[in-house]
């Protein structure tokens, strides 16, 4: 009946699924079934559930899977755990896992202290225990990264994680996880930028390269300076027709980091647009203005 649970029952608690493999009392007395109001210990769920979570018994696997899908949908629509509920803001979705409740609470508290004025961190789920198949499924559903603090992966999900099926960060150091969150926030902030031209040069000659997309040429600096750690853009007939990564800069057949006005140089670059004699190249830098 609905007031009885027994060995072999298919059970579901929130987004966690399982089958009862063992029933026992708090005095470690094994049971075949238990009725309402009897406190019992249940073995069989495939992940740890939160205290107070209701366990439902299902007649078959199909019914249980439907309940899991409904629960996942509910969780997806929850508010995020941030101080601002503006859903127009960009968000970084995360799932928190930890070995013990104290660690989980400390991690969550530390994440919520990180400034989130422009990019919000949405904690889609938080639980104690190893990273399970349910966690991976939910991460895919919510486009979340799993942050696993001081906890392992279930054996059956190791290959999926290795194959990159889901984003996950595992660490025993809380600072590393917090640093990842901070870096993701910075990465997703939309900055206004402007291009600064540091110098320009005329292409005097081009040379053959055996490597695809690698070009070699000689030139002379006409304005400013050319730096080997910046990008180049190619100007022909007054139009920007391509950008290049500098691989090597030489002056007098020796490597150098910089060449200045009126100096001649040799350079190898990576880029697809064909460089021609007489072209102008500009050394550029992208500057964040806010």
Average pLDDT over all residues of the chain: 85
pLDDT tens sequence across 234-264: 999 999 999 999 999 999 999 999 999 999 9
Residue 227 has pLDDT above 80, yes or no: yes
Q: CA quadruple 107, 110, 112, 115: dihedral positive or negative?
A: negative
User: 113: alpha, beta or left, given left = phi > 0 and alpha = psi -120 to 50?
Assistant: alpha
The pLDDT of residue 75 is 52
Per-residue confidence at 2, pLDDT binned at 50, 70, 90? Answer: low
CA-CA distance, 114 to 134, in Å (whole number)? Answer: 28
Residue 207 has pLDDT above 90, yes or no: yes
The Cβ of residue 134 has, within 10 Å, a number of other Cβ atoms equal to 21
Residues 6+ apart with CB under 8 A from 128: 48, 97, 98, 99, 100, 101, 104
The pLDDT of residue 49 is 65
The pLDDT of residue 52 is 60
User: 238: alpha, beta or left, given left = phi > 0 and alpha = psi -120 to 50?
Assistant: left
> Pick the residue with more confidence: 265 or 114?
265
Give me the domains of the chain, ranges plus CATH numbers.
4-74 (2.40.30.10), 78-188 (3.40.50.10050), 193-288 (2.40.30.10)
pLDDT tens sequence across 17-54: 888 888 888 788 888 888 877 788 888 877 766 656 67
HSE of 176, CA atoms in CB hemisphere, 13 A? 10
Identify which of 140, 114, 274, 117 has the alpha carbon closest to the alpha carbon of residue 125: 140
CA-CA distance, 128 to 275, in Å (whole number)? Answer: 58
> Pick the residue with more confidence: 9 or 165?
9
Per-residue confidence at 123, pLDDT binned at 50, 70, 90? Answer: very high
Task: Encode the chain in three state secondary structure.
Answer: CCCEEECCCEEEECCEEEEEEEEEECCCCEECEEECCCCEEEEEECCCCCCCCCCEEECCHHHHHHHHHHHHHHHHCCCCCCCCCCCCCEEEEEEEEECCHHHHHHHHHHHHCCCCCCEEEEEEEEEECCECHHHHHHHHHHCCEEEEECCCECHHHHHHHHCCCCCEEEECCHHHHHHHHHHHHHHHCCCCEEEEEEEEEEEEEEECCCCCCEEEEEEEEEEEEEECCCEEEEEECCEEEEEEEEEEEEECCEECCEEECCCEEEEEEECCCCCCCCCEEEEEEEEECC
Enter the pTM of the model.
Answer: 0.44
> Pick the residue with more confidence: 272 or 199?
199
Identify which of 73, 13, 3 has the alpha carbon closest to the alpha carbon of residue 36: 3
Burial class (CB in 10 A: 0-12, 13-18, 19+), 205: exposed
Span 217-232, mean pLDDT?
96
Residue 89 has pLDDT above 70, yes or no: no
CA-CA distance, 177 to 106, in Å (whole number)? Answer: 12
């Amino acid at each position: 009946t609905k007031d009885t649970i027994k060995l072999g029952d298919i059970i579901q608690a929130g987004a966690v699924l399982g089958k009862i493999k063992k029933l026992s009392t708090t005095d470690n007395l094994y049971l075949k079934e238990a009725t309402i109001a009897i406190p019992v210990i249940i073995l069989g769920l495939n992940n740890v559930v939160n205290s107070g979570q209701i366990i439902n018994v299902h007649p078959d696997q199909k019914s249980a899977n439907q309940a899991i899908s409904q629960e996942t949908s509910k969780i997806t629509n929850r508010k995020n755990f941030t101080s601002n509920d503006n859903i127009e803001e960009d968000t970084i979705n995360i799932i928190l896992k930890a070995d013990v409740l104290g660690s989980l609470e400390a991690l969550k508290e530390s994440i919520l202290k990180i400034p989130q004025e422009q990019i919000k961190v949405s904690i889609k789920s938080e639980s104690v225990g190893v990273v399970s198949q349910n966690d991976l499924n939910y991460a895919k559903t919510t486009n979340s990264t799993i942050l696993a603090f001081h906890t392992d992966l279930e054996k059956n999900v190791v290959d999926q994680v290795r194959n990159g099926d889901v984003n996950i960060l595992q660490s025993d150091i809380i600072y590393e996880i917090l640093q990842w969150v901070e870096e993701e926030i910075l990465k997703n902030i939309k900055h206004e930028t402007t291009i600064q031209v540091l110098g320009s040069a005329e292409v005097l000659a081009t040379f053959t390269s055996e490597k695809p997309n690698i070009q070699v040429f000689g030139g002379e600096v006409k304005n400013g300076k050319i730096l080997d750690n910046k990008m180049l853009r190619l100007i022909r007939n007054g139009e920007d027709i391509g950008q290049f990564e500098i691989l090597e800069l030489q002056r007098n057949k020796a490597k150098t980091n910089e060449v200045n006005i009126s100096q001649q140089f040799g350079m190898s670059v990576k880029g697809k647009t064909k460089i021609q004699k007489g072209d102008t190249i500009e050394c550029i830098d992208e500057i964040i203005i806010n």
